[in-house]
Amino acid sequence: MSITDTEFHQLADAMFQAIDNAIEVAIDNQDADIDIDASGNVLQLTFEDTSKIVINKQEPLHQIWVATKFGGYHFSFVEDKWIDQRNGGEFMAFVVDSILKQGNIQLAL
């Protein structure tokens, strides 16, 4: 399914907001140590050990790119889901798993 630039930004912004909201809940409920920096097309999460997860919008490609300490991943919008191009994993499940592995923080998304 092809999406417009406007749709791309609406979908990506909604995901960024959902991640931000879930992290705020984790901070309150789990006393999680994670810093969130949202700036333009980038959402950067910094953990207690100073490692980072960087999520950014790649508008020309209509993709979401994620960099973790385990590697880089590219997600495309396919059949109403953001799917990793290499392994077929879904974006939100991937983010929850990555935050758990990298920061030992459980998110409810």
Please give the distance of CA 92 from its chain centroid, rounded to a whole number.
7
Which residues are within 8 A (CB) of 87 and not within 5 positions of it... i.e. 6 or more apart?
Answer: none
**Torsion angles phi and psi, residue 92, rounded to 5:** -65, -40
pLDDT in tens, 37-94: 999 899 999 999 999 999 999 999 999 999 999 999 999 999 899 999 999 999 999 9
Q: What span, in angstroms and rounded, lies between the C-alpha atoms of 5 and 7?
A: 6
pLDDT in the model for residue 1: 55
Report the predicted TM-score, pTM, of the whole model to 2 decimal places: 0.91
Tell me which CATH code domain 5-103 carries.
3.30.920.10
Residue-wise pLDDT tens digits, 22-35: 999 988 888 888 99
Backbone phi, psi, residue 81, to 5°? -140, 155
Angle between helices 5-30 and 91-103 (to 10 degrees): 30
Distance CA 68, CA 102 (A): 8
> What was the pLDDT predicted at 7?
94
Per the listing, tokens 């059949």 go with: 79
Q: How confident is the model at residue 8 (pLDDT cuts 50, 70, 90)?
A: very high
